[in-house]
Amino acid sequence: MQKDKYVALSRKYRPITFDQVTGHDIAITILKNQLNSKHLAHAYLFTGLHGTGKTTLARIFAKSLNCERPVNGNPCNNCTSCNEITCSSSLDVLEIDGASNRGIDDIRNINESVGYATFQGKYKIYIIDEVHMLTKEAFNALLKTLEEPPANTKFFLATTEAHKIPPTILSRCQRIDLKRIETEQIKEKLISITKELDLKIEEDALSIIARLAEGSMRDGESLLENVIAYSDKTITANEIYKILGLPPKNVFFTLDNAFKKEDLNAPFTLAPELFSTHTNLTSLIDELSIHYKYVAKALLNVQSADFALFTKEEKEGYKNATAIYSISQVMEILNILANTYHYNFTPISKQIHVEMLLQKILSCKHAKSGQEILKHLQSLKGGLQETVAKPAQAAIYKAPVPPAQTAAASPAPAAQISSAKASPPKKADQNIDILSSEQTKKDTILQFAAVELGAKLNKNL
């Protein structure tokens, strides 16, 4: 007897009714209301992140439109039309890949078949996936048909990049935006899958997978599939990073301790471990950025749903990090990572780049915020003014005061007058001039520095 073929988790647990869809309540409400009221648009655009359910919603909507016995807006999934759409064998619902059928001739074929009657359903429905891949000429060919299709024809467009679609097309579609699915909702779906399959995996491990999915249900199910293939024994949270080829969080917590101790040898011991798990250095920068993002959130006491899904070790690690870093240090580190993200890494000795990057992070130990630097400059300016004023006043008081001339005094001889004019300035006056000149220079430099720094701070704010 032939065994059933293996089906990927993302296909096996793909929703077949609106009620099974996770995380898109608003979109589902809109579609159900239009089904119940019969106020249907002639074209719909489903847009959002990959793996959030754009094509799935389009299929369910198509099934509901052609279903013989719909229930509260949901397809029955028992009639002939529903079964054919589920198996992708329906002649009334045609799925087209916009990436491989992107030319004007492909769209002309659609325009020619639009006028044909349906085979057995109420509507002829065209689902065009990755529609943003169509050429300009193809969009122009689709435009007129999309605006005035036959009464029994509907167009469902799906894309991850709606900004690449011409405005003339967008204006003729009802747009359905799908947001990222919340991490907690992805975790709940993964828990239900593991229970149904009777898999042994720790809840903390599922929390890590849900976070790594980053809002994509399909990504979460694919990651779970990789983990399942590793072992039939209970899979722990510590094994998840190893299975998925990612550095564990304790590596980053070790970096935090090195930052605290100013251990400049740590990068040379951590770099080989980080380098071995990242063939692409940009993925390492992503991991470091995510780590310091959570450190910043912990410092600012920002409530995040992700914190609830952290393991006990991770919660303790980020709690300790708040005593190690200041917010200015974390901002400086994130700025370094952002600048390094677009750096053109040379193919020779890439591990050196990792070591240099870690050294740069540790060098932020003494980083100061712009406001702190500005305050320091202003204090220096005030100190210099006081220092210069004191010797200048002392010199003035020590300067000899010439005796007062009486009205009867005889005028000084011309020789004395000329010698007095030619006499050099006194030493006290020279000291005052020198100090005043030095003060002016330093005062000017500090004022320029303060003004420039203040302008940069205002620009950043």
State the Cα–Cα distance between residues 103 and 379, nearest whole angstrom.
68
What's residue 38's pLDDT?
87
| pLDDT above 50: residue 248 | yes
Give the pLDDT band (50/70/90) at residue 222: very high
Exposed, middle or buried by CB within 10 Å (0-12, 13-18, 19+), for 110?
buried
| Residue closest to 11 by CA, chosen among 77, 55, 71 | 55
The mean pLDDT of 146-151, rounded to a whole number, is: 86
Percentage of the chain beyond pLDDT 70 is 78
| pLDDT above 90: residue 132 | yes
- Supply 395's token pair: 């010199």
* Cβ-Cβ contacts under 8 Å for 211 (sequence gap 6 or more): 183, 306, 309
The mean pLDDT of 426-449, rounded to a whole number, is: 60
What's residue 123's pLDDT?
92
- Spell 161-195 as b/e; 16+ CB within 10 A means b: ebeebeeebeebbeebebebbebeebbebbeebbe
**Predicted structure pTM score:** 0.73
State the Cα–Cα distance between residues 358 and 190, nearest whole angstrom.
35
What's residue 280's pLDDT?
67
Contact 25, 184 (CB under 8 A): no
What's residue 420's pLDDT?
46
- Supply 38's token pair: 């019969």
Give the pLDDT band (50/70/90) at residue 304: confident
Contact 186, 210 (CB under 8 A): yes
The mean pLDDT of 253-279, rounded to a whole number, is: 85
Note the pLDDT tens digit of each residue in 358-410: 999 998 887 666 666 777 777 776 666 666 555 555 545 444 555 554 444 44
Give the pLDDT band (50/70/90) at residue 118: confident
| pLDDT above 60: residue 300 | yes
| pLDDT above 70: residue 435 | no
| pLDDT above 70: residue 456 | no
State the Cα–Cα distance between residues 107 and 100, nearest whole angstrom.
12
Least confident residue range of 32-46, 211-225, 268-282 = 268-282
Query: Strand 174-178 vs strand 124-129: parallel, antiparallel, or unpaired?
Result: unpaired
Give the pLDDT band (50/70/90) at residue 278: low
State the Cα–Cα distance between residues 292 and 338, nearest whole angstrom.
12
What's residue 427's pLDDT?
52
